[in-house]
Structures are given as C-alpha cells and as structure tokens.
C-alpha cells in the first residue's frame, strides 16, 4: 500500500467512525431575560430537571454519524436547567431560598441535517412550577428551529452543533411567553 493510500485509508476510517462533539455552552437570550424581567412575579429557584428516556430523547444526539453531547455533565436535562438558571439570574429573579421552584423533564431532543435541504431541530420539555409543594403550573412546551444546511458534512455538522443553544432559547421563549406561566409566577 502506498503512502497516499495509507493516508486516505486512515482519513476514511476516522470519518466512518464518527466523532464526539460537545454542544456550545448556553448563552442567555436577551429577549428571554427581558420577558422574565417584565413578568410581574416572584423570585424562583431551579429544581431538578430529568430526561424522559425514549427514541426522541437520546442521551447524545446523532448528527450524520457524529455524537453531540451536553457540556453540562453530558446531560441535556442539566443543559436545560442551567439555561433557565442563567436567564433567571440575569433577570434578577433567581433565589436559592425562593418559595417558587421550577423543575421539569426533557421529553424530546433531536437534530436532523439531511444531505439536501434545511437542518432541523426539535425540543420539548415538561415544566412544573410549584409554590412550596403546590403545583401552580404544569405544561409541556416545544420548539422547532430550521437553518440553512449543506451537503458537505464539514459545514453542516458544526452549523447544527452551533444551532443547539438557539433551539433551547426558542423553547424557553415559549415557556416565558405563556400567560399561565406568568400568572403562576405571582
């Protein structure tokens, strides 16, 4: 086997085996923070977020043979709780000893980038807001996002990886805009 063939074989083996990617850390959405500031509500603490097992909610997201994981202990449920924590903190509404506690369960978490067409992301989570032990809000929210993709994996995969925080921002925007959630914050 010639040197060129060996290099090509190694490159193919690396591409065929896929690689592990880490989603970017969450950066709070200024619009989401403003929605929380504008909501007439009390301080909130962030409780436990879990992940409901299922094919729509894998521990790592498969993107064209690559595996996308969470930067928060490998848990997308922790990604969601950290996202809420950041936005509550920036809105001045996070308190460790608050009577209100938000918790939840990630139910759907998927990204798809076909060889032709747009990349897509779908996410859904159940959010529960309790005051002391009384449930004041319990609903499932979902979000969908689309972006320009590429046939070339070296372009499409990093673009999908970088779109994940936007998908979470859209999910939280749905939660914060819900009048029932806003009312439960009071």
Domain ranges of the chain: 20-184
Q: Which residue has the higher pLDDT, 134 or 41?
A: 134
pLDDT at 156: 87
Of the given ranges (90-104, 109-123, 134-148, 168-182), which has the lowest mean pLDDT?
A: 109-123
Q: Give the residue-averaged pLDDT of 34-59.
A: 91
Q: Band the pLDDT of 3: cuts 50, 70, 90.
A: low
Question: Quick one: what percent of the chain has pLDDT higher than 90?
Answer: 71
pLDDT for 2: 55
pLDDT single digits (tens) 152-182: 887 889 999 999 999 999 999 999 999 999 9
Residues making up the chain, counted from first to last: 186
Q: What is the pLDDT of residue 6?
A: 41
What's the CA gap between 131 and 43, in Å, rounded? 11
Average per-residue pLDDT in the chain? 89
Q: What is the CATH number of domain 20-184?
A: 3.40.50.10610
Structure pTM? 0.87
């Amino acid at each position: 086997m010639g040197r060129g063939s060996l290099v090509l074989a190694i490159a193919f083996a690396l591409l065929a085996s896929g690689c592990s990617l880490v989603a970017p850390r969450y950066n709070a959405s200024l619009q989401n923070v403003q929605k929380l500031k504008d909501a007439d509500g009390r301080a909130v603490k962030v409780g436990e977020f879990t992940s409901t097992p299922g094919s729509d909610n894998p521990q790592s997201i498969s993107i064209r043979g690559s595996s996308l994981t969470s930067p928060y202990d490998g848990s997308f449920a922790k990604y969601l709780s950290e996202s809420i924590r950041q936005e509550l903190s920036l809105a001045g509404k996070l308190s460790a000893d608050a009577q209100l506690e938000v918790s939840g369960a990630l139910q759907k978490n998927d990204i798809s980038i076909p060889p032709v067409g747009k990349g897509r992301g779908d996410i859904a989570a159940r959010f529960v807001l309790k005051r002391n032990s009384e449930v004041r809000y319990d609903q499932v929210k979902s979000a969908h996002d689309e972006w320009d993709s590429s046939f070339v994996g070296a372009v499409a995969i990093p673009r999908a990886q970088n779109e994940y925080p936007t998908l979470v921002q859209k999910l939280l925007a749905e939660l914060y805009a819900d009048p029932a959630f806003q009312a439960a914050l009071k």
